[in-house]
Amino acid sequence: MKQIKIIPCLDIKEGRVVKGVNFENLRDARYPVEAAAAYCAEGADELVFLDIFATVENRTTRLEWVKRVCSVVTIPFAVGGGIGSIEDMKALLDLGVDKVSINTAAVKSPELIERAAKEFGKNRLVVAIDGRKNPIESGLPRLEVVIRSGREAIGTELVGWAKRAEELGAGEILLTSKDADGTKEGYDLEMTRAVAEAVSIPVTASGGAGKLEHLYEGITIGKASAVLAASIFHFGEISISEAKQYLKEKGIPVRI
Enumerate residues 6+ apart whose C-beta is below 8 A from 156.
107, 141, 144, 145
Residues 36, 47 contacting (CB under 8 angstroms): yes
Q: How many Å apart are CA 65 and CA 28, to the nearest integer?
A: 16
Residues 165, 106 contacting (CB under 8 angstroms): yes
Q: How many Å apart are CA 111 and CA 122, to the nearest integer?
A: 14
End-to-end CA distance of the chain: 16
**Phi-psi map region of 207: left, alpha, beta (phi>0 left; psi -120 to 50 alpha):** left
Catalytic-role residue among 88, 130, 181, 188:
130
Q: Is 11 known to be catalytic?
A: yes
Catalytic-role residue among 11, 51, 181, 188:
11
Q: Which residues are catalytic?
A: 11, 130
